[in-house]
């Protein structure tokens, strides 16, 4: 990936989101074990550490670093970079009033960092490095981190609960995209915008077609709502149905092209979501993969390499691998 143009994450981060979609897509930052693990790590760092967070998204990890820095007067200097065209200062609500500053930079490929050798004391990353060419990213980390510095990564665990949820989420997205909903909505919207307006003359055949399209759309909505009744991502289901129904009902306010444009836009958003989920599934690593990562770090001269599973409370709720090392 050499450019951030049309990168599947560009649009995603242009909103008031901190955590990534796989963790509820929430406006609040990561909680629980993930947060605890980062708080512990940042608390252990020396004052004035220069921290670089790779694949930062809207800065979930830097924001925790900033909080720890503020609370313990650590005076960290924090940078967050991502391949996506990020701008958390613009999109995150309340960012301007934070008591600390983060230097965010978009369009930065973790495989080719625009920094001098040994520019940072600490490099972190969460749910990001696994998407790229890991050997290249590790090479860059080894180059850019200073002697005596530290690295820590949190990585999607293949058999973990987040990845499992994502698989179901992806199935739901694919059912929304390829099931009856969009076809029926497109037909109903096209018909109603061509023939539904009060001033249009209609034959009885057209009236029948209008009714048929309306009934098919209603039936598709019911079918989708029933099939996704217990969805892991009810927000996506509800958004899709609400937007399509709203677009159909308000046909009178817009041209056919605008109405169908809305439908296309929604289809694109759900497709991007499905793509992100499938990329996550492919990127996640199993225990052997995590061990391999740890060995790779050791072969690059890192010491004290640790590789531990992170659980969400119970041992059967694996979330991620956390891999750390000293330079």
Residues that bind ligand SAM (CB under 6 A): 1, 7, 9, 19-20, 55-57, 60-61, 82-84, 109-111, 126-128, 131-132
Q: What minimum distance in Å lies between the beta carbon of 108 and ligand SAM? A: 6
Strand ranges, E, within 260-317:
303-311
* Long-range contacts from 25-31, C-beta under 8 angstroms, 24+ separation: 25/235, 27/93, 29/60, 29/63, 29/64, 30/60, 30/64
Q: What minimum distance in Å lies between the beta carbon of 288 and ligand SAM? A: 22
Q: Pick the closer one to ligand SAM by CB: 260 or 279.
A: 279
Look-up: residue for tokens 């992170």? 310
Q: What minimum distance in Å lies between the beta carbon of 248 and ligand SAM? A: 34
Q: Pick the closer one to ligand SAM by CB: 69 or 126.
A: 126
End-to-end distance of the chain based on CA atoms, in angstroms? Answer: 27
Who contacts 173 (Cβ-Cβ below 8 Å, separation ≥6)?
Answer: 233, 236, 270, 271, 273, 274, 277
Q: Pick the closer one to ligand SAM by CB: 131 or 138.
A: 131
Q: Pick the closer one to ligand SAM by CB: 60 or 272.
A: 60
The CB density around residue 274, as the number of other CB atoms within 10 Å, is 21
Residue 271, classified by CB atoms within 10 Å of its CB into exposed (0-12), middle (13-18) or buried (19+), is middle
Residues forming a β-bridge with 125? 54, 153
Q: What minimum distance in Å lies between the beta carbon of 105 and ligand SAM? A: 10
Q: Pick the closer one to ligand SAM by CB: 57 or 160.
A: 57
Q: What minimum distance in Å lies between the beta carbon of 140 and ligand SAM? A: 10
Q: What minimum distance in Å lies between the beta carbon of 110 and ligand SAM? A: 4
Q: Pick the closer one to ligand SAM by CB: 82 or 121.
A: 82
Nearest-CB residue to ligand SAM?
Answer: 57
């Amino acid at each position: 990936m050499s450019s951030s143009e049309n990168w599947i994450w560009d649009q995603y981060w242009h909103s008031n989101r901190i955590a990534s979609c796989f963790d509820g897509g929430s406006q609040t930052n990561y909680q629980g074990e993930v947060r605890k693990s980062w708080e512990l790590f940042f608390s252990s760092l020396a004052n004035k550490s220069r921290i670089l967070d790779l694949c930062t998204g809207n800065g979930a990890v830097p924001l925790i670093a900033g909080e720890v820095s503020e609370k313990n007067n650590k005076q960290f200097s924090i940078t967050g970079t991502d391949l996506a065209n990020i701008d958390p200062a613009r999109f995150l609500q309340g960012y301007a009033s934070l008591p600390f500053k983060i230097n965010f930079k978009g369009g930065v490929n973790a495989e080719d960092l625009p920094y001098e050798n040994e520019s940072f004391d600490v490099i972190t990353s969460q749910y990001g490095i696994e998407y790229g060419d890991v050997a290249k990213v590790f090479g860059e980390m080894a180059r850019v981190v200073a002697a005596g510095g530290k690295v820590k990564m949190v990585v999607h665990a293949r058999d973990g609960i987040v990845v499992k949820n994502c698989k179901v989420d992806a199935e739901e997205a694919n059912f929304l995209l390829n099931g009856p909903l969009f076809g029926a909505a497109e037909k109903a919207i096209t018909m109603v915008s061509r023939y539904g307006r009060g001033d249009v003359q209609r034959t009885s055949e057209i009236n029948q077609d209008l009714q048929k399209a309306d009934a098919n759309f209603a039936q598709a909505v019911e079918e989708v709502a029933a099939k996704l009744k217990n969805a892991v991502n009810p927000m996506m289901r509800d958004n899709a149905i609400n937007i399509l129904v709203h677009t159909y009902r308000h046909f009178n306010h817009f041209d056919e092209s605008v109405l169908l444009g809305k439908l296309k836009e929604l289809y694109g958003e759900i497709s991007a979501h499905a793509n992100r989920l499938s990329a996550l599934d492919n990127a996640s690593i199993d225990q052997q993969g995590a061990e391999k990562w740890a060995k790779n770090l050791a072969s690059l001269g890192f010491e004290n390499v640790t590789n531990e599973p992170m659980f969400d409370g119970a041992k059967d709720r694996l979330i991620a691998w956390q891999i750390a090392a000293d330079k």
